[in-house]
Each structure stands twice: as structure tokens, then as C-alpha cells.
Amino acid sequence: MSTRQHGAMRSADDTVGGRQAPTVSPARRKWRPYILSIPATVILIGILYPFVQGVGYTFLNYRATEGNVHFIGLSNYLQVFTEPLFWGSVRTTLVFAIVATVLETVLGVIIALLLNRSSLIGKIFEKVLILPLMIAPVIAGVIWKLMFNPQFGILNHIFHLGSTFDFLSEGRALWSIIMVDAWIYTPFVAILVLAGVRSLPKEPFEASAVDGAGWFYMFRRLMLPMMWPYILVAVIFRFMDCLKVFDIVYVLTQGGPGHATSTLQVNAYINSIINFNYSGGATYMFILWIIVYLTAQQLVKLLGRAQARAAGSEA
Amino acid sequence: MNSPFTEPMSRRRLLQGLGLAATAPLLAACVGPGQSSTNNGSNAVTGSFDWKKAKGTTLKVLQTPHVYQQTYQPLFKEFTDLTGIEVVADLVPEADYYTKLNTELAGGSATHDAFMMGAYWVWQYGPPGWLEDLDPWINNTAATGAEFDYPDFFEGLRTSMKWDFKLGDAAGTGGTYALPWGFELNNIAYNKTVFDQKGIKPAETFDNLIQLAIDLTDRGNDRYGIAFRGSKSWATIHPGFMTQLAREGGKDYEVKDGKLTAAMNSQVAVDFTKKWADLAKKAGPTSWTTYEYPNCTGDLGDGKAMMVYDADSATYPKNVKGASKMAGQIAWHPGPAGPGGSMATNLWTWCWGMNSKSKNKLAAWLFMQWAAGKDAMNKAVQSGAFADPVRQSVFNGTFKQTLGGFPGYLEAFEAQVPEAKVLFTPQTRFLETTEDWAVAVQSIYGGADAKTTLDALATSNTNKVNS
């Protein structure tokens, strides 16, 4: 049997909607993957190039105001790791990230559970809840800075704290910033968890109710395990965001008083933009990237396990 | 057949690719920054001086909203009529101003031909070649009119614009990298009405100032003794703090064996800093660590702060009729003298710098020459809010005539101006090291031990300025 087919063998699968698929020449077939991958390659270069350049800076003594830029190996890392400021920043960043995430998660879950009950007030609150998310964090920071002002701020007035109580003093600044972060982002957690709660199957709860289980038992043994993947997604988002917090900290305190609220991002900004020390700033950023990357990996693994467990509990 | 799209990339190939990609920015970075401009355009200007030499040019200037900027804004039309040059002024709030300017200059941008800056920026922007050396322009009679009269600027201002970029050399050496425009001396502005009611006078020693400020503090009635800057910024150090530290005998650095050695941890400095932080706590604004000069002068104008230790030209506008609640009730005093009667005063100048990358240098120079010229400055002063003109002729003429009911202002000025100069040692890490200093003062305010904190600061700053 002879065939007049060129190139690849045709088969019955080479039909589209019952019609014969157009023939693709070998040359086009060879280049098509390259052409189709151009947009992704451009995007990848757009992400990779600045990243690689930034990492490259960490091995230089690059200061914008000084010449004689040269390779200095790991000196930037050695300097950063021996600075008390760096370790202070790591501590501040972690305290902020952990406390803010826990606070926002707990409050978010409580709010989600309250809103899950169908009522008019709940529906109104559901709409109102997203308002803080509509405000840019920088603007929220400015608003809170005014509210924190001891002389004319509304908080001192409402709580009768007098004009000597300063929310942004050395011992309180970090907690005040956490409070502002919670104000902005708790609704995000609440909305995410609420979506999860509403997607849970009703049958296990009805069965438990028939067996006489109480609300707390059902919450602990049924709802929480099934909600856990949704909560973890919120935790991952918030924890990653908190690790790289900058805007509200800079607006409220610029990392002060002293170094009380100096997070890794704030120090990177001050190094790079204020002090022209591009290499120092890049070193801070790269270390932060490593921390975020490793933490994200662990949290995603945790999420996978939680999802598997939740699937088991549903079955 | 092997295909890059069907086979996973090996780790070795990935690393090879990343290594190659990394070399490009590394090589680019090795030749990019720190190059200085050597092409000064003044040589191209020849013939006789004529204001119309750059007619038809559009000049872009960068400014921050400030009394000086506001008084000159209406005058720009006169400059355009005189020269045929259009001026486009971009305004950036002071909190972000230098970030904008730093980024622009570091990027080698020629967007703005001239910009407002302070004397300290000569030390930052001069060495990498971002600023035009103005000496060739000043000395070129084809580019500079005979009436410009450069020696008419106060001497302390002229020297503060010059540096040779050598560590340890004082300001006043080398080229001229900016043109003075407005300046300020740091002293005490006080609520005269309250002082008169209580029958008290401004303090003549630092210890008396502390006591006086504490006595005047009445938190229950939202009134406190003294305002001065406390935010996490270099700007916290340069006004009242540096002035009084110098009067008490303190310094920022000393030159030892050709190197700068930080002296902000000397015994004098430790004692002074401890007292300063204590003063802020006992008699300063409650949110002191966020305080910048508008907060200080605002509280003085509102009658909340009884005294302000800051720039005289910043407190001056608050006494102009209708400008504040306390307008007409503010008076000035040179501030406490040091133990030996020292009236050392740190001065600040707003000045004009020229972008070395500018493509309109002649137009920029004509603008700077006009802005710092006698005619425009006289008109700005007559508007009523432009304090401390940088020209002796304008100060002694128009400014003294407009001062009128500003008790003590002129006396304080004349007592201070002989010893007024930039009290900081020129060095390229000024902003960074002075911000670190402000952070240290904030920490001491927060309860940290003064000696330990300042020792650590001095070690760090000595390393930084000599690196």
C-alpha cells in the first residue's frame, strides 16, 4: 500500500470537530514551541533579570554616591550577619508576622463564624467588612497616625488616656502597628474563611446533631478540621505579606523610635533609597527572599497535608 | 530527538544559565555608578552678558513646598519676561523630596535642570559628579551679569557651598556646588505673652532652659515647655541639637592621623545627649519621636508649645498677622550660651543646585542667578514671609525694614551670625550617619543607656565615614 502523506503519519485522531486538522509543515512544527514560548520567556526574563541583578549587587560594594565598584565576595553578608541591627530586624519582623497573623486569623475565624449565621445584621456587616481592604495601606497608615496623635488623636480622647499616652512610643509602637495591620487585613481572613465555611457539607453536622453532639464538639471535631485548609490558605497569604511589611511601618514610625519597628523591608529601603547603599539594601532583600521562600515551602506542605486530612474527614 | 521543551533542564545547565545572566549586571554595575561629569558648559558661553541668551528654553526645576518656594512662585513670570525662559516647577512634599531627588540623580536623569537642596547635599551629590561646579559660571562674565555681586552673600553661606571632596578637609575648600537662596539660624522662639504674664525671661544657660521648660509644662491643659525635632531623620540632629551640643563644647568628628574619628560619644556629648533626651521627655511633645519642624512650629503657633528650638525662619512665618493663633505674640532669643559664652550656631541653607546632566545649563544658570539675585530677593522679602535673605545688602536693607514687630528677632540674629556656620564635618555618609545619630538619641529617649548607645554609634560611624 502506498501513501502520499508527507511528514508525520496521520491518524483518525487528526480530526477537529469531525473535519481534517490542517497540515503543519515540519519547519513550522519545529519552530512553533519556540514562538509560543516567547511571551512566557519575556515575562520570565522580566522577573529573573532584576532578581539576578539584585543578587549580583549583594557581591559588590555598590553605593550610588561612590565610584570604584568592585566584587567583594561575601563581605556584605558577613557585615549584615554581624550587625545587631540585622538580628533586631529579624526579631521585629518575625514578632510582627507571627503576632499579626495569629491575631488576624483568630479574629477572622470568629468573625466568619458570626457572619455565617443568616441575619440582616450579618448581611450588612458582610458588606461593611471589606471597607478596610478598599483603603490603600499607606492611606490607612496616615489615618491611623492621626488617630494615634496624643494631642488631637481620637483614641486618646475616647479612652481618656490624656495627652501623655503615646501609642507610637518605644514600647508600644510595634503593637500599635500590629493593631493597624489587623484592622486592615482581618476582613481578608474573615472573607476567605467565610467562603470556606459556606462550602462545607451539611450532612456530617446534621448527623452529629441527631447523635446529640453540642456546638463546641461539632466545631472542634467537624468544622475546624474541614475548615483547616481555608484557614491555612489565609495564614499563608497573611504570613508572607507580614514578613515583607513596609508601607504601614514606614508611614507610622519610619522604623523607629530607635529601631523598635525596623523590619527587614524598612532597613532594605533605608539602605538603598535613603543611604544610596544599593548593595546593602540588596543583601537585606535577598536574605528576606530566602526567609519568605523557605517559610512558604513549609506552609504549602502543611496545606497539602491539611487538605488531605480534610478530604479524609469529609469522606 | 532531544528538545529543550521535552527534556527537563539539568541543574548544571540551569546554574550555567544563571551564572551567565548574572555576569551582565555585574559588569554593568562595575562601570555604571560613580562616574563624574567633566563637561562644564560654561565655556561655550561667550560675548557680553545678556539675560535673553537662552530665550525660548523651557526650564524644569524641582522644588519642595516651603515659604521660600511660595514667595518666589508669583515672581517666576517676571523671570520669564526678563529672559524669555519658561519655568516649569515640579513640587514634591519635603518628606519625600530627597528620595525623589536622590533617585533621579542616581539614575543619571536630566529631567530637572535645577533643584532646591541643602548645603549638606553638596557632600552627597558632589563626589559622584551629579552637581555642576558653579565657579566657572560665576567667573564667566558672559554668563554672569555685573550686578550679581557674589561676595554680597554672607561668608558662612559661601563657604558652606564649597568642598574639595577630601575626607577631613573643611567646607570652604574646592569648587562651588550650589548657590545660597535662603538660610536659617537655630534659636529659641517663645510665647512672649505667656512669658510676660508670668514675668519670666528666656534662659541664658542650658540647665536653666531645662528647668524653665519643665516649669512651663502643663500637660493637663495641653501645654508643654519646648518643642524640637525628634523624628528618625538626620533633620533631628542639625537644628537645636547640634547648635546646643556645639555650644556645650561637643563635636561630631575629630581628625586623628588623617582619619575622621567620631566624637559624638565624648563625655560632653554623652552628658548633653542625656539631658536633651530627658528634656524631650519631661517638657517636650508627647509624640516627640515623630516630630518634624512643621509640628514644632505648628504647636508654637497654636499656643501649645511655649518655646521652640529650631530655625528662626521657620518660626518667623507664625508671627505674621493671620498666620497663626499666636501671631504677634512670638518673640526670639539666641538660646542658651555655652559654658564659655559660646554662641556657636549651626546654619542651614536652602540653595539651588544645577544638574550636571542638564541639557539647559545656561538657562538653569540664568534662573539660579536671578533667583539668588538682589532684585528678586528684595521683592520676595517685601512679600513678608521670606526670612533671612542670604545677601547682606538685602538683609540690611529690605529685610530690616520689614521686620517691624518681631521682638528679639534681629537681636538674636546679630548675636548669632558671627559664629554661625555649618558645624558638621563634611563627609559623604552624612545622611546615613546622622540618621543613625537620631536613632541613637531616640533610643536614649526610650530608656537606653546614653554612654553605651553613643559608644556603639561612634564605633559604627567611624567605620562608615572612613570606609
Nearest CA in chain B to A149: B287
- B270 or B166: which leads in pLDDT: B270
Four-point Cα dihedral A195, A200, A206, A208, nearest 10: -110
Query: Can you give B276-302 as a three-state secondary structure string?
Result: HHHHHHHHCCCCHHHCCHHHHHHHHHH
According to DSSP, the residues that pair with B226 across neighbouring strands are B307
Distance CA A155, CA A144 (A): 10
What is the per-residue pLDDT across B371-382, written as a single tens digit (0 to 9) for each? 999 999 999 999
A245 φ/ψ sector (left φ>0, alpha ψ -120 to 50, else beta):
beta
Chain A interface mutation, best of B37, B125, B282, B432, highest count of A Cβ atoms under 10 Å: B432
B266 shares contact with chain A (CB less than 8 Å): no
Inform me whether the pLDDT recorded for B172 exceeds 50. Answer: yes
Question: What would the DSSP string read from start to end of A151-172?
Answer: TT-HHHHHTT--TT--TTSTTT
What is the per-residue pLDDT across B93-121, written as a single tens digit (0 to 9) for each? 887 898 899 889 988 999 999 999 999 99
pLDDT at site B77: 96
What's phi and psi for A128, nearest 5 deg?
Answer: -70, -30
Distance CA B424, CA B81 (A): 40
Q: Say how many CB pairs under 8 Å bridge A and B.
A: 139
Chain-chain contact of A259 with B231 (C-beta, under 8 angstroms): no
> Nearest by CB to B286, which of A55, A65, A164?
A164
% residues pLDDT > 90 (chain B) = 74
Chain-chain contact of A171 with B446 (C-beta, under 8 angstroms): yes
DSSP-derived letter for residue B49 is -
C-alpha cell at B172: 570652604
Question: What would the DSSP string read from start to end of B332-364?
Answer: EE-----TT----EEEEEEEEEEBTT-S-HHHH
Chain-chain contact of B287 with A56 (C-beta, under 8 angstroms): no
CA angle B60, B63, B64 (to 5 degrees): 160
Q: Which of B318, B378, B372 is nearest to B350 (CA)?
A: B372
Angle, helices B267-283 vs B240-247, to 10°: value is 140
Helix (H) or strand (E) holding A19: strand A19-20
The identity of residue B154, as a single letter, is: F
Chain A interface mutation, best of B101, B282, B286, highest count of A Cβ atoms under 10 Å: B286
Cis peptide before A257 (omega within 30 of 0): yes
According to DSSP, the residues that pair with B310 across neighbouring strands are B187
Cα radius of gyration rounded to whole Å, chain A: 27
pLDDT at site B39: 55
Chain-chain contact of B285 with A151 (C-beta, under 8 angstroms): yes
> Nearest by CB to B21, which of A52, A163, A171?
A52
B294 shares contact with chain A (CB less than 8 Å): no
According to DSSP, the residues that pair with B272 across neighbouring strands are none
pLDDT at site B17: 44
Chain-chain contact of B124 with A276 (C-beta, under 8 angstroms): yes
Length of chain B: 467
Scan for cell 549583594, then name that residue. A58
Chain-chain contact of A273 with B103 (C-beta, under 8 angstroms): yes
B26 shares contact with chain A (CB less than 8 Å): yes
CB B455 within 8 A of CB B265: yes
Distances (CA, A) of A293 to A212, A243, A299, B167: 46, 11, 10, 42
Chain A interface mutation, best of B232, B296, B299, highest count of A Cβ atoms under 10 Å: B232
According to DSSP, the residues that pair with B116 across neighbouring strands are B352
Inform me whether the pLDDT recorded for B4 exceeds 60. Answer: no
The identity of residue B315, as a single letter, is: T
The identity of residue B34, as a single letter, is: G
pLDDT at site A19: 65
Q: Which of B437, B340, B376, B353 is nearest to B114 (CA)?
A: B353
pTM (two decimals)? 0.80
Chain-chain contact of A257 with B446 (C-beta, under 8 angstroms): yes
Q: Give the pLDDT mean for B445-449.
A: 93
For B58, the 3-state DSSP assignment is strand
DSSP-derived letter for residue B405 is S
Chain B interface mutation, best of A65, A251, A272, highest count of B Cβ atoms under 10 Å: A65
Nearest CA in chain B to A54: B25
Predicted complex ipTM: 0.72
Distance CA B403, CA B414 (A): 13
Chain-chain contact of B432 with A277 (C-beta, under 8 angstroms): yes
Nearest CA in chain B to A166: B287
Chain-chain contact of A63 with B33 (C-beta, under 8 angstroms): yes
Distances (CA, A) of A29 to A7, A26, A33: 10, 5, 8
Burial of A211 (0-12, 13-18, 19+ CB in 10 A): exposed
Using a CB-CB cut-off of 8 Å, the residues of chain A touching B30 are: 60, 69-71
Helix (H) or strand (E) holding A217: helix A215-218
Q: What are the residue ranges in chain A where pLDDT is below 50?
A: 1-12, 314-315
CB B453 within 8 A of CB A258: no
B20 shares contact with chain A (CB less than 8 Å): no
Using a CB-CB cut-off of 8 Å, the residues of chain A touching B428 are: 65-66
Chain-chain contact of B290 with A62 (C-beta, under 8 angstroms): no
Q: Give the pLDDT mean for B205-229.
A: 95
Q: Give the pLDDT mean for B51-73.
A: 94
Distance CA B121, CA B431 (A): 9
Which of A77-86, B11-20, B29-38, B233-242 is the most confident on average? Answer: B233-242
